[in-house]
Structure 1
Amino acid sequence: MLGAEQRRWLAALVAGVLLLAGCAETGTGGRGKGGGKNASAAPSERAKKPNIVYVLTDDLSWDLVDYMPNVKRLQRRGLTFSNYFVADTLCCPSRATILTGKYPHNTGVLSNDPPFGGFDVFNAKGNEQSTFAAALQKAGYRTALMGKYLNGYEPTKAQGSSRTYIPPGWSEWQVTGLGYANYNYNLNGNGTLTHYGRKPGDYLNTVLGAKATDFVNRSADSGQPFLLQMSTFTPHAPATPAPEDGRSFANVRAPRPPGFNEPDISDKPGWLRKYPRLRPRRLKEIDAAFRQRVRAVQSVDRMIGQLEAAVNARGAGADTYFVFNSDNGYHLGQHRLREGKLTAYDTDIRVPLVVAGPGVPAGRTEARFAQNTDICPTFQELAGLRPPDSVDGRSLVPLLHGQQVNGWRSTAFIEHRGPNYAHDDPDLPRKYGGNPPTYEAVRTAGELYVEYENGDREYYDLARDPHELGNMWGQAPASRKAELRSVITSYRTCGGPNCRDL
C-alpha cells in the first residue's frame, strides 16, 4: 500500500499529465478581427467554466459611480474601461446590441417601438436565436435574466399578451416590462405572473436581489456554471429609491462641469440652438432629479454587494466574473439640456463598464475603445466559445487578461433615429430635454463628429475642448472632414468582420 507522501506524489503526477493532455488537445478561444463560424464550437474546454454576474443598469451615468461604494470596490479589484461607448443612447436599441453584439442597423432595432424597434421587431428579425444567453445555455450554462428585457415586452392588452413568453436561451426568467416605478408591477416568474404592490417588500430591486441570491445558491448546488443578468430599471425616471434611501443625500447637488448651463450655444445644431438658459427653478429641479438618482442607485449597489457575498459564501468567488454596466448615459443640465439621453455628447454615449474576475488585473484602467457590441462576444469567449463571424463587436477578453493586441479599434460608432414623439414611450424626452433628429456619429480618442440627416454637423476637438463647448466644424481641415465622412459611411452599412476592421 502506498504511503501518504507517495499518494500525494502520484496524485500530483496524474494531475500534471492530465493538464498537459488538455493543453495539447485544445486551442484558444480568442480572436482578433476575424473569428469562428459557430458560437457553440468550443476551441478550449476549461476544467471549470467561469460564472458571470452581469449587472446592467438603466440610464446610469458616470457621475453616479462616486456614490456607489460596492461599484468602487469592484473598480479596485478589477478593470475599468474609461472609453466604453454605446452604439445608441436609447434603451431598446442599446439592449438589443448588448444581447447580440450587433449594431442597431443590423439588429433592425432602431427605436423603442414598432415599426422601427421594440421587443416585437427584435423577435421578428430572429435576434433571439443569436443572443449570448442562447450560446451559453447551449454550452451548458444555467442562464437567468431578472428585471428588464426589452421595451414592448409586456403589452397592456390581455389578448395576444407576451407577458408570459420566455425567449430562447434563458433557464430562469424573472422579468417585468413595467417596472420603472419599482412598485405595482407583474413579474413573469418562469411563465407564472405574480403581482407586486406598494408594500416596502415589493420594491423591485429587493425582490430581484432575493431571487438572484436563490439562483446563485441553486446553481452552486447543480454544479453547472451560470450566467446571471441583473437588468435593473434603476435609475431610469422616476428613479424611485428603496424605502430606506428616500431621505438620504439631502444636500447633494447635480455636478456643474464647464458645459453645465452653457452660456453660448449659437454654434450648436439647429435642434438645440434655441434652448433657453436654465433659470433657478430649473436648476432646483435638476438638483432634485440628481438627488433622486443618487438615492435610487443605492439599492443597485447593495445588490452587487449581496451577490458578491452569495457567490463567495458558496466558494465560487475565484471562478466568477462581475460585470457592471449601463445601457446608456444621461445628461442633467449640460449644454442647457434638462433631463435626457438622446444626444451624441459624452454625457450620453460614454458609460461605465467595470469588470472584476479571474485573471483581471486589480485597480487598472483600460483606455482602449470598447462598445456595447463587445459584451456578447466577450461573454461567449469567457465561456470558452468562439464568437461567430456575424457579430459586429470584438471580445474584450484579451484586454481583460492584459494580453498584447495589435490593431485594436480607435473609433466608436453611434447611430440614432429621431426625433421621438411617441407619447407612450417611457423615454419620450421632456421639453428642452434633448430630442435630436436622426444622426450618426463617430467618436475618436480626441474628436466627436456628428452628421444629422437635416445637414447639420458638429465637430469637437476633445483634446482642447473635452466638454464639447465649441463646435469647430466650420474650422476643421477639409481633409479631416473627408476622412470622418468616410468613416461614417463605412460604419453605416458594415456587418460582422467589416465592422470589426474599422
Structure 2
Amino acid sequence: MTVLTNRPNLVLFVTDDQRFDTIAALGNDLISTPNLDELARSGVAFTQAHIPGGTFGAICMPSRAMLHTGKSLFHLANHGWEIPDDHVMLGETLRSAGYRTFATGKWHNGTASHARSFSEGGEIFFGGMADHWNVPVCRYDPSGVYAETARKIDNPFYQNKAKEVHCDHLTPGKHSTELFGDCAVRWLEEEADERPFMMYVAFMAPHDPRSMPDDYRNLYKPEDIPVPDNYREEHPFDYGIRDMRDEVLEAYPRTREAIRHHIAEYYGMISHLDYEVGRVIAALKKAGKYENTIIVFTADHGLALGRHGLMGKQSNYEHSIRVPLLLAGPGIPSNQIRSTYLYLYDLYPTLCELLGIGVPESVEGQSLVPALLDPGLQHREYLGLAYEDAIRGIKNRRYKLLEYRTETVKETQLFDLETDPDERFNLFGLPEYEDVADELRERLHAIRDEGDDLAHPTGIRFWGRY
C-alpha cells in the first residue's frame, strides 16, 4: 500500500444506530447488503471498530463529535453539542488543504461547526431524530446561523409541547434515506470543479422510528428472524436507563415475538440505506471520480434490540460500542479484514495520512495506516469504555470488565470474549478469575487518569461512588 500525494477525493458515509454485525459479507447471512458487501470486498473491513461509549444519553452526539474532531471522549465540550474553535474539525482540515467539502444529512453538533466544516451542502438535518418521511431540513448557510426555524411537536399523540427546530423546508413523503441519497447524487452530477472534494453523507437510518418503503419492509419476515442468544426479558439490574426513551420503545418484559419484529424492521432500514449507498457510488463512477476516491462507511454506535434485555445503545456491551468500518479506494488493499482494536476517532488522522495532509495538534486519535499495511498489527491493546456517570469499563483482546456505580447499584461484570462473545456469563467473583479482574481494574484506573475522566462531570460522579 502507498500513501498518495495526488489528493484523492473522500466520501464518508455515517449511519445512525447501525451495529457492527449487520453486513452480509462479514458474516450476517440474514441481511441483504449487496452494495456494502461490494465495498467490503473492494477494500479493508475493520471488524473491531469501537466507540468508547458516551457521556450523554444521545450517544450519537459525542460519537459524531469525536469522529469529526479526533478528540477523546472526556475532552469534548458539552458532550459534543458544541465544538470549540480550537478543536480543528476534519472538514476544516481538508478545506485548508484546498478541498471542497460538501455535506448532507444529520448533523447533531451545532450549526456553527457545520459551517466551519463544510463549504457546501444541502438537505441538512440539525437534531437527533425525526419522522423519516417528513424531515425538517435546511439549505446550506455559509454563515452557520441557520436563522430560519419552525415549530414542531414530537410524539403528537402523547403530548402537545412544540419546540423550535432549524428548518427552512420539508419534502413531505420522501424518506430521509432517499432525501439524502438524492442530494448526494445530484451534487455529484452537477459537480464540475476539478479540485478534490470531501462528501459527507450522514443517514438518519436505521434509527427509529423504523419505517421504510414497503419493498424493504417486506424483505424480512419476523417469524424468520432468530432471537439473539443473549436475549433477555429484562436487564438483570437497573443502572438508570430502564425508563429512558430508547428502552420504552418496547414493553417489559421483552417478548421473543416483539424482538423478532424490531430486528426485521431494523434490517429493512439497513437494506434500504444500502441501496442509496450504491446509488451514490454509481454516481461517482458515472462522474469519472470513482477511481480516485477513498470511500469510508461507518456508524455512530450500535443498538441492543433485545440483547441483554435492552433496546437502545446506552450500555458498554459489544452490541452498543462496536460499529462497522469499511475503507476502500486508491492505495487501500482490497478484500481484506483487520481485527485490530481501534476507536472510531482514529479515522481522522488515518484519512489525513492517506490524503497526504498534516494532522492538527488538537487531534488525539492514532492513524490506522500501519494497520492497513500490516494485517498482524495490534493498533490498540486496551480500550477504555464509559456510559454517562453509571458505567466505566475496559476491554483487552480477551476479557472485558464493566463496573456499574449508581446511587442504588454497585455491580461488576467480567466476560471472556473469546469463549463468550455474546457476554452472557459473568465471571466476576470466581476465584480463578480474580487475577484477571485485578489486572483489568489496574488498567482501568490508568486509562481513567490518562483520559482525564476525573476532570469530567460524569467521571467525578462515577468515581465518587466507586
Class of the TM-score when normalised by the shorter of the 2 chains: 0.7 to 0.9
TM-score (norm 1): 0.73
CA distance in 1, matches of 2:263, 2:433: 39
Deviation at 1:253, TM superposition (A): 4.5
Instruction: Report the equivalent of 1:328.
Output: 301
Give the match for residue 135 of structure 2: 185
- Residue 13 (structure 2) aligns with: 55
| Residues 370 and 377, structure 2, Cα contact 8 Å, conserved in 1 | no
Letter in 1 for 2:40: Q
Quote the residue 1:239 is aligned against. Answer: 210
- Aligned residue for 2:156? none
Match of 2:371 among 393, 399, 402: 399
**Cα shift at 1:293:** 1.4
**Aligned-pair identity (%):** 26
Question: 1:303 maps to which residue?
Answer: 276
Q: Match for 2:322: what amino acid?
A: R
Aligned position for 2:149? none
- 2:49 aligned partner, one-letter code: Y
1:446 aligns with 2:419: no
TM-score, normalising length: structure 2: 0.78
Shift of 1:170: 0.7
| Kept after mapping to 2: 8 A contact 1:392/1:495 | no
Counterpart amino acid of 1:185? Answer: V
Alpha-carbon distance between aligned partners in 2 of 1:165 and 1:385, rounded to the nearest angstrom = 21
How far apart are the structure 2 equivalents of 1:270 and 1:297?
30
Q: Secondary structure at the match of 2:169?
A: strand
1:495, distance to aligned residue in structure 2 (A): 5.2
Structure 1 255/392 Cα, relative in aligned 2: closer, same or farther at 3 Å? farther
How far apart, in 2, do the equivalents of 1:54 and 1:196 lie? 25
Deviation at 1:64, TM superposition (A): 2.9
Which one of the candidate residues 267, 272, 290 is aligned to 2:263?
290
Q: State the 1:138 CA deviation.
A: 0.6
Residue 148 of structure 1 aligns to a residue whose secondary structure is strand
Query: Greater shift after overlay, 386-395 or 81-90?
Result: 386-395
Q: CA RMSD in A?
A: 3.0
Partner Cα distance (1:460, 1:361) in 2:
33
1:270, CA displacement in angstroms?
Answer: 6.4
Contact 2:13 2:297 (8 Å CA) reproduced: yes
Deviates more, 1:344-353 or 1:381-390: 381-390
Per the alignment, in what secondary structure is the counterpart of residue 103 of structure 2?
A: strand
Read off the aligned partner of 2:133 and give its amino acid letter: Y
Q: Which residue of 1 aligns with 2:290?
A: 317
Rounded to whole Å, the distance in 2 between the matches of 1:404 and 1:60 is 25
> What one-letter code is carried by the residue in structure 2 that aligns with 1:62?
F
Instruction: Tell which deviates more after alignment, 278-287 or 459-468.
Output: 278-287
Distance apart, 1:226 and its partner CA: 1.1
Correspondence for 2:228: 257
Structure 1 pair 366/63, CA: closer, same or farther in 2 (3 Å)? closer
* Aligned residue in 2 for 1:101: 70
User: Structure 2: how far apart are the matches of 1:407 and 1:244?
Assistant: 42
1:359 Cα shift?
2.4
- SS for the counterpart of 1:70 is helix
Aligned to 2:121, what secondary structure does the other structure show? Answer: strand
Alpha-carbon contact 2:49-2:341 (below 8 Å) kept: yes
Q: Are 2:330 and 1:381 aligned?
A: no
Q: Is 2:233–2:252's contact at 8 Å kept on the other side of the alignment? A: no
**Cα contact 2:14–2:299 (8 A) shared by 1:** yes
Mapped to 2, the partners of 1:272 and 1:326 lie a distance apart of 22
Question: Separation in 1 of the partners of 2:442 and 2:217?
Answer: 50
Aligned partner of residue 255 in structure 2, secondary structure: helix
> 1:485 aligned to 2:441?
yes
1:260–1:359 distance in 2 versus 1, CA, 3 Å: same
Match runs of 1:65-214 below 5 Å: 65-66=23-24, 67-88=32-53, 90-109=59-78, 117=79, 119=81, 122-123=82-83, 125-126=84-85, 129-150=87-108, 153=110, 166-174=114-122, 175-178=124-127, 180-191=130-141, 193-199=167-173, 202-214=174-186
Distance 1:118 1:87 in 2: 14
Partner Cα distance (1:165, 1:480) in 2: 43
| Offset of residue 256 of structure 1 | 2.6
Query: How much does 1:208 deviate?
Result: 1.5
Task: Indicate conservation of the 8 Å contact 1:146/1:230, yes or no.
Answer: yes
Report SS of the residue matched to 1:459. Answer: strand
Q: Mind listing any 5+ residue stretches in structure 2 that lack a counterpart?
A: 25-31, 147-166, 453-466
1:371 shift after superposition? 1.1
Alignment of 1:14-33 (within 5 A): none
Q: Cα offset for 1:247?
A: 3.4
Count of residue pairs brought into register by the alignment: 404
Tell me, in whole angstroms, the C-alpha distance in 1 between the residues paired with 2:254 and 2:375: 52
The separation in 2 between residues aligned to 1:415 and 1:270, in whole angstroms, is 13
1-structure distance, mates of 2:448, 2:270: 35
Name 2:415's counterpart in structure 1: 460
- Give 2:170's aligned amino acid: Y
Superimposed CA distance per residue, residues 183-204 of structure 1 (whole angstroms, 9 cap, x where no aligned partner):
22332111275422433xx322
Label 1:137 to 1:360 Cα distance change in 2 as closer, same or farther (>3 A): same
